[in-house]
Structure 1
Amino acid sequence: MDDLRASLARPIQLAEQLIKWADEAQACRSECQNLKSRIERVTTLLRQAARAELYERPARRILEDTVRALDKAAALLERCCCGGLLRRVLTIIPAGSFKKAASLLDNSLGDLTWILRVSSYAAADDDGDDQDDEDDHIGLPPIAQNEPILFLIWEQIAVLQYGGLEARADAAASVVSLARDNDRYGKLIIEEDGVPPLLRLIKEGRADAQESAALAIGLLARDPECVDLMILAGVCTSFVKILKEAPMKVQGMVAWAVSELAANHPKCQDAFLQHNVIRLLVSHIAFETVQEHSKYAVASKMSIHSVVMDKKTNDTSSQDPPDATAAKPVVGCSGTAGTSSSSAAAPGPSSARPTSLAGTRVHNASMSAASTRGRESEDPEIKAYLKSHAARALGTLATGNPAICKNITESRALLCFSILLEKATCDVRYNSAMALMEICRVAEQNPELRRSAFKPTSPSARAVVDQLLRVVEKADYDELLVPCITCLGCLSRTFRATETRVIGPLVRLLDEREAEVSLEAAAALTKFASTENYLHVDHCKAIVAHGGAKHLVQHVYFGEQAVQTAALILVCFLAHNVPDSEELVQAEILTVLDWACKQGYMSQDPLIESLLPEAKIRMELYQSRVAKGYY
């Protein structure tokens, strides 16, 4: 702002010089006096601008246009008042030049009037003064005639910067509407410095204004460049403050915004990790889920049942199903980030129903006592809303990031996910499953994380596997089934040979009518049967023993192309690892392999191309030996 005031010195001085030239003009005196009256008004507005607090982004553009208008007028006035008599006589100035200069000055007058009025509008609102009706409609400045939406964005950002709390809340809601309309408007909001006032509103505003500002930030996170600009503007610091202290509904919206930023620009994950956002999100999913500890890690000798929260509820409330008060937050059961307004994402005050909690009161070491006070009596729907978005945010932050996955698994998050996967509402279960899936995918590629987070002796790891198996054994085709199958496949190298309960449910899913489920089950079993798995022979025997061969044959012959490919890859691993299996002979696997060799589209897959010949050779060798009586 100081630079802006300093830059006003030149046009003010230039305008004063032009007024003198207009008085000294010998040629075209009427036209010069006409310009002079306009320049005097421009000078008055420039002096007002030097004393006012202006929205800098449009003010600089308006100032640049004003300087150009003054320079154009200067060129005309100089020719009219400078030089000798002969030059003035011979000077020919087209009449259109004065009209053009006057038009440019009129535009500058309109622009300067607008920037001053929008600032005074915000200041008057801040002081609580009433305004005339005409002040509520400031009008379209000439600078925005070619792009009216830019004017609207400027006006809302100016109110966000200098308005009172009520006006800033309304402006934040308007920014949400603009950001939701299309990507271009969102980029303009960011380019015109709309993010810093939104972040200030997140920290300073009322709950509804905070929620609108957080929703706007999430909607603006459309691409990596936008996210980078918001990270530089300090979005992490603002979000940390909210996740520690704000109302639960606002925290839920901020958690959703975190997930949007991380989903659209994974490189920002580390910034959130450095600001301790991960642990704050874990605290929210742990609230009323497991007992709180001074340390995040769950004690290794503690049983699963001992860490589940003991709630004291009355007989009536204890019979309510978990979904009876389920929230309908921005993230639905399909897991898609909603773009509905925050007011529709959670219930209003009239629907709040306090609940009685039992036993030991829950406290969070990472939150202040003031921030946790009253959380227990919050509406169950809002609690579920926060847990759902916190789980979604943890999932997007964990995607492909071993450091964050390690941070999450060293906390009590795995245990929380296992409990939420069983007892929470639809949205919370789905987002918990998706978060587990992302962690398991990273663990599959990262031996250190796999050994530390999913070792068989870990109570939290056992709890996770138990819940994954519960979903898979239930085999209901819903939003949980596929991510749970994926998790078991990614954890295939953590299971011991004595762990016999995993293969059977996955094999039974090969008989599933839904192609998506069969495809994912085949892909998961392939990870058990792959030669990269140390126990691949044992797992292949288990797959065959549970009747997997006959299901795979059906998929190879009659399945959709993606299912065909996945099933054939698994068949190749079975033939390669256990060619002496009588079940494979009875299922005529060799015939299947011969048929597959003749299908050109199948051999186009690089993995099939490398596996199929060797699998066929092994099966042929075994059957030839059987025919010769070697077996």
Structure 2
Amino acid sequence: MGEGVKAKLAKPIQLADQVAKQAGQCFRVECMELRARAEKLAALLRQAARAELYERPAERIMDDTVRALNKAAGMAARCFQNHSCLRRFFTLNPVSGLPRTLALLDTALEDVAWLLRISTPHADADADDEDGLRGLPNIAQNQPILFLVWDHIARLHTGSLAARADAAANLASLARDNPHFAKHIIEEDGVAPLVKLLKDGTDDGQEAAAKALGLLGRDEESVDKLLHAGVCSVFAVVLKEPPMRVQAAVAEAIASLAHHDQKCHDLLAQTNAVRHLVSHLAAGTIQEHIRYSVTGASRNVAPPAPMTSLHSVVLAKTFSVHHGSSGSPANEPPSSSKASDGQQHAGKKQMQSVVESAMAAKTSTNRVMGPPGRSMLTSNGRGSREAEDQATKVNMKTMAAKALWKLARSHVGVCKSITESRALLCFAKLLEQGAGGAGTDLQFYSAMAIMEITRVAEHNLALRQSAFKPSSPAAKAVVAQLLRIVSEGEDDDLLRPCITSLGCLARTFTASETRVVGPLVQLLDDRETPPVTREAVVALTKFACTENNLHVNHCKAIVDAGGGRHLVQLVYFGEQMQIEALMLLCYIAMHVPESEELAQAGVLSVLLWASKQAHMVQDMRVETLLPDAQGRLELFQSRASR
């Protein structure tokens, strides 16, 4: 109990004693009842002064109690003053308002008793009250939801471990149902006991507390209050220790907080939360995930430990096989110029079978001999990763990918940590597995994480050069999976972030890279949904714009793939993307005006038509671009006509 509540208790205790003393000097029945209630209330208030009260309802109850005692004191004074002892004994005139005053004191008695009941832990209280509410206080008659919040938060302070877990789950349910309820929980000081439960509770309690904290962060103001309560450091600690379902709930809470407020990105990065999330994502995804810690070890550096284990020998064998066959690293996907599709598939199957057999042998060996060291994701006495079921592992990866997606948004530091940890290889592998492996949600979150990283890299040269340089095996693996998804074009939700990622990487592709533009041009077909087509137009614009050093090569590739005729149709009929399609067409007309395909597609007529459309020429992006493109196209095509 804080000093403020203790100070507030002094006044009502003094008032209760004063009312009891004055009412005791009057012998009327009503005054005797007033005295009895005042004495009982004084006893309860002194008991409350010795207890650890739940401060939020205590402040409101004390205010109401003081008002009731002030009214009772005035009533007692009226009975006592200006009356002789004889008149005080024999008077029969009732004092006006005394029944109302007695009712107010009864209300105060009930509220103080309720406050003591919820604030004082009892050995058997949870057994009696665990399935029911502990009485509705009078101060919450008009706000029953406030009473629910108080009751559950009080259980977090005074209940047993099981009762605290149940209270946290109920608070999570309230916060999920209504954002207004979530604000009530924060305002009534529910964050601190939830954080404490997340640190010291049972598995069920920790999971419920993590879910509740994630649901409380609905806006920047709420997230700020959570951050001041120290949730980031607690999240990082929990992410290191099993059970995995608690870690998954924490990862989901991190995603929620990062989505609503970017202030927590720096704090979570400082507490190594990103490192732990990447570790969860990598475990079981790439076999050598321990090498891919956030320290950013180089791909070509051998593991520091000597190759005495079977796993190390198999990794060395895998590297030698790939270097001998294609001259490329083990994690580098073979290019189309070096191997056919059948050879790629055969190499992948061979790699997978070798590593799987090695891991199976390693697992059986470890069961007999025991591991030489303990991984950061192994047990702390309450379970281990190997003991978790497959659904829990998939959920952990899904929530880790979601959290990394939200943390990477517009944050260079987090993106750098993710790329240095080789998490890009994990994302590429998860995109490859599809629904038959880790599930659609995991694929989607992985694609969204890649999209956010590429968006940051598009405007950050250092990150672009370090994470997406053409020789990087991780970058090659990511691009290969992005191209595969774009070429298949089956799932629009998954397709759009992949298209955006390829567009953001437009300046990283070399002149010899000719496989990217074609699949994007195919998405300009009118059979695609408008959002997908628009993303494809925006991505191709990043290839064709003047800021791209290879814009001429890319514009020729777009025209050769049939992009001219598609863009003509989009400028005429693409209601949701006319401006974007016109910008791309202008860039192509400026950079390859001599193209015969553009002449056959009637691009010049389209530009002339667009120059007469008010809503197009008034767009600032088109204002200077359209006249230049029109002039270049007229010049070259008029020469060709002669």
TM-score normalized by the length of structure 2:
0.84
1:204 and 2:203 aligned: no
2:255 corresponds to: 259
Counterpart pick for 1:557 among 566, 572, 575: 572
Matches of 1:467 and 1:294 in 2, distance apart? 20
Counterpart pick for 2:402 among 374, 392, 398: 392
1:119 corresponds to: 119
- Consecutive unaligned residues in structure 1, runs of 5 or more: 319-354
Matches of 2:537 and 2:167 in 1, distance apart? 52
C-alpha contact (below 8 Å) 1:304/1:460 kept by paired residues: no
Counterpart pick for 1:427 among 429, 441, 445: 441
Matches of 1:369 and 1:224 in 2, distance apart? 35
Matches of 2:377 and 2:116 in 1, distance apart? 43
C-alpha contact (below 8 Å) 2:242/2:378 kept by paired residues: no
User: Deviation string for 1:414-442 (max 9, x for gaps)?
Assistant: 11111111123222111100110011111
User: Deviation string for 1:502-522 (max 9, x for gaps)?
Assistant: 111111221252222211111
1:413 corresponds to: 423
C-alpha contact (below 8 Å) 2:292/2:422 kept by paired residues: no
1:40 aligned partner, one-letter code: E
CA distance 1:35–1:7, change in 2 (3 Å): same
2:320 corresponds to: none
1:183 aligned partner, one-letter code: P
Deviation at 1:47, TM superposition (A): 1.7
Counterpart pick for 2:521 among 484, 507, 516: 507
Matches of 1:101 and 1:504 in 2, distance apart? 85
What are the residue-to-residue correspondences of 1:271-310 with 2, within 5 Å? Answer: 271-290=267-286, 291=288, 292-293=290-291, 295-296=293-294, 297-301=296-300, 305=330
SS at match of 1:222: coil
Matches of 1:590 and 1:578 in 2, distance apart? 13
User: Deviation string for 1:19-71 (max 9, x for gaps)?
Assistant: 11222348xx4433222111111011112212223222111221121122212
Counterpart pick for 2:183 among 180, 187, 193: 187
1:340 corresponds to: none
C-alpha contact (below 8 Å) 1:141/1:151 kept by paired residues: yes
CA distance 1:426–1:211, change in 2 (3 Å): same
Matches of 1:76 and 1:575 in 2, distance apart? 93
C-alpha contact (below 8 Å) 2:56/2:189 kept by paired residues: yes
SS at match of 1:533: coil
Deviation at 1:266, TM superposition (A): 1.9
C-alpha contact (below 8 Å) 1:11/1:70 kept by paired residues: yes
Deviation at 1:611, TM superposition (A): 1.4
Matches of 1:589 and 1:107 in 2, distance apart? 83
1:352 corresponds to: none
1:614 and 2:628 aligned: yes
C-alpha contact (below 8 Å) 1:76/1:98 kept by paired residues: yes
1:15 aligned partner, one-letter code: A
C-alpha contact (below 8 Å) 2:410/2:452 kept by paired residues: yes
CA distance 1:518–1:362, change in 2 (3 Å): farther
2:339 corresponds to: none
CA distance 1:414–1:48, change in 2 (3 Å): same
Counterpart pick for 1:570 among 554, 565, 584: 584
- Consecutive unaligned residues in structure 2, runs of 5 or more: 302-327, 333-350
Matches of 2:96 and 2:134 in 1, distance apart? 31
1:67 corresponds to: 66
C-alpha contact (below 8 Å) 1:160/1:198 kept by paired residues: yes
Matches of 2:372 and 2:603 in 1, distance apart? 58
SS at match of 1:370: coil
1:516 corresponds to: 531
2:99 aligned partner, one-letter code: K
Deviation at 1:251, TM superposition (A): 0.9
C-alpha contact (below 8 Å) 2:242/2:382 kept by paired residues: no
1:455 and 2:469 aligned: yes
2:6 corresponds to: 5
CA distance 1:412–1:107, change in 2 (3 Å): same
Number of residue pairs aligned between Structure 1 and Structure 2:
582
1:248 and 2:248 aligned: no
Deviation at 1:256, TM superposition (A): 0.7
Matches of 2:124 and 2:461 in 1, distance apart? 59
TM-score normalized by the length of structure 1:
0.85
1:99 and 2:109 aligned: no
What are the residue-to-residue correspondences of 1:472-621 with 2, within 5 Å? Answer: 472-511=486-525, 512-559=527-574, 561-621=575-635
1:17 aligned partner, one-letter code: Q
1:48 aligned partner, one-letter code: Q
CA distance 1:513–1:167, change in 2 (3 Å): same
1:532 aligned partner, one-letter code: E
Deviates further, 257-266 or 2-11? 2-11
User: Deviation string for 1:363-398 (max 9, x for gaps)?
Assistant: 886556637963124211111100011001001111
Deviation at 1:523, TM superposition (A): 0.7
- Root-mean-square deviation (Å): 3.0
Matches of 2:40 and 2:197 in 1, distance apart? 36
2:16 aligned partner, one-letter code: A
Matches of 1:210 and 1:66 in 2, distance apart? 37
C-alpha contact (below 8 Å) 2:243/2:384 kept by paired residues: no
CA distance 1:626–1:312, change in 2 (3 Å): closer
1:17 corresponds to: 18
Deviates further, 455-464 or 426-435? 455-464
Counterpart pick for 1:383 among 361, 374, 393: 393
CA distance 1:72–1:260, change in 2 (3 Å): same
What are the residue-to-residue correspondences of 1:31-70 with 2, within 5 Å? Answer: 31-70=30-69
Matches of 1:434 and 1:210 in 2, distance apart? 28
2:174 corresponds to: 178
Matches of 1:250 and 1:12 in 2, distance apart? 46
Matches of 2:494 and 2:537 in 1, distance apart? 17
Matches of 1:94 and 1:456 in 2, distance apart? 96
Deviation at 1:101, TM superposition (A): 2.3
2:248 aligned partner, one-letter code: G
2:570 aligned partner, one-letter code: H
Matches of 2:182 and 2:528 in 1, distance apart? 43
Matches of 2:596 and 2:385 in 1, distance apart? 61
User: Deviation string for 1:587-611 (max 9, x for gaps)?
Assistant: 1110111121222333343212231
CA distance 1:592–1:149, change in 2 (3 Å): same
C-alpha contact (below 8 Å) 1:288/1:362 kept by paired residues: no
1:445 and 2:476 aligned: no
User: Deviation string for 1:180-219 (max 9, x for gaps)?
Assistant: 2211111111111111111222222222222222111122
Deviates further, 261-270 or 93-102? 93-102
Deviation at 1:313, TM superposition (A): 5.2
C-alpha contact (below 8 Å) 1:18/1:36 kept by paired residues: yes
Deviates further, 574-583 or 299-308? 299-308
